[in-house]
Amino acid sequence: MARGQKHKLSESYVGGNVVNPRGAKNAKTQEPTVLLAKDVYYEEGGLQRVHPYFHRFATHAKGRWVGRTIYDVFTKEFRDRPKAYYEMAIEKGIIEINAETVSKDTVIRNGDLVTHFIHRHEPPISTQELRIVRETEDGLLVVDKPGSIPVHPTGRYNYNTVTKVLEMKHGHRALYPINRLDRLTSGLLLVGLNPNIARTIERDLVAHKIQKEYVCRVQGEFPEGRIVCDQPIRVIAHKLALNCVDPSEGKPSLTEFEKLYSEDGHSVVYCRPKTGRTHQIRVHLQFLGFPVANDPL
């Protein structure tokens, strides 16, 4: 099917399930104007879950996508589904370019809007409370983030994220996350309630006026004393956030480590990253031979 030709399907939405997701997009695209936390979240099996819902992913073509086919991009950068699904989704118009159904051989151009309409089931997270430690008069939130919850909507997570929980359960609409914590990392998160305070704190972080400090449980008997790792880090896969040590092509990175104690084949290590590469602590600890105990990568 050539670019620009519309795909006409009539089946849409039956009993809460998508019979044909392409038709469901036309029949059920509007969420309630006032969506309450009780409409979104529920607890089951000791976890916070989100009721399944329809969702439309939309993004303009990234630079690395331009010149590649839509099928190639989805099968190589969005690997959470089998290749057969992406072929079917493109053919049926569930995946579109510029609101038009295209063939899997259609080449993405600069400025194209790529959309993917799905019935979404978010992964559950811990029921541990997202606690606001402090809120300052100039608009800074200090939040105690539990492990298992991402900071902002990404990948399979939308409502089960820090920013959405702060919006749905605490009433904060305009949010500007300042520092980032990985999904599995717990700790203090700084969130601006206005762009001015966010820019101020971000400048302080860049100028190293604020020091980030972490405590990690790692596998093995970590050595005594101050250990410094300055191995460069390179991104392997942007979408999967995979990184590795690469002395020839990596970016300069430096982390200081110091063992607090060891027990039962594990060590608890104090970590001070001096640069801000993605997953820097995890990558450096893996390189040193002491991976984070619960690291899935």
CB 70 within 8 A of CB 91: no
CB contact at 8 A, 229 and 254: yes
- Is 282:295 a contact under the CB 8 Å cutoff? yes
CA distance 23 to 21: 5
User: Which one from 72, 144, 182, 246 is the annotated catalytic residue?
Assistant: 182
Whether 182 is a known active-site residue: answer yes
DSSP string, 149-217: --SS-BTTBSSSSHHHHHHHHH---S-EE-S---TT--EEEEEESSHHHHHHHHHHHHTTSS---EEEE
Catalytic site positions: 182
